[in-house]
Amino acid sequence: MDQQFAGQCQCGEVKYRVTGIPVTIFACHCTECQRQSSSAFGMALWIKHGTVELLSGELQKWVRQTPSGKAMECSFCPTCGTRLFHKVLGQSEMMGIKPGTLNDTRWLQPAGHIWTKSAQPWIRFDPPLLKYEGNPDSFSELIATWEHQKHA
């Protein structure tokens, strides 16, 4: 079932609404996500068939290579640089929201962690959550776990 998610960049210039089907949420500890988030990890909320409606502002786009070798389009505010969305090129079904940009973040609970081999040594992982040293071969387990958490 489609849901709506609203959020904004740090400076408030770009405000958005995304409509789509939430699929999973996870934390990524790869060094690229650490750099991008200026923190110990990044997070992604995957939305299936997501459509973005800009309520204000414009997006700038940049393409980078993922650790698994795919091209990812990253959308961000040109004023403050806040990353809002990402999408693997050639993958038309799925997009990612940087969930820290959502107006309501209280419900965010990751299903697991990926690229844990790059995690900062002080990070402690909650045992019930899924962990992958790199990119999982399939995200189906992360998707199923998040679905289960959502209904628990």
Ordered by start, the domain boundaries in the chain are 3-151
> Which class does domain 3-151 fall in?
alpha beta
What pLDDT shows up at residue 101? 95
Which band of pLDDT confidence, cut at 50, 70 and 90, is reported for residue 151? Answer: low
Cα–Cα distance measured from residue 6 to residue 100, given in angstroms and rounded to the nearest whole number: 11
> Residue 68's pLDDT is what?
75
Contacts of 27 (CB under 8 A, 6+ apart): 41, 42, 43, 110, 112, 113, 114
| Phi and psi angles of residue 90, each rounded to the nearest 5 degrees, phi first | 90, -5
User: Which tokens hold the place of 116?
Assistant: 């844990």
Instruction: Please say if the pLDDT value at position 99 is more than 90.
Output: yes
Three-state SS at 51: strand
pLDDT higher than threshold 80 for residue 72: yes
- pLDDT greater at residue 33 or residue 125: 125
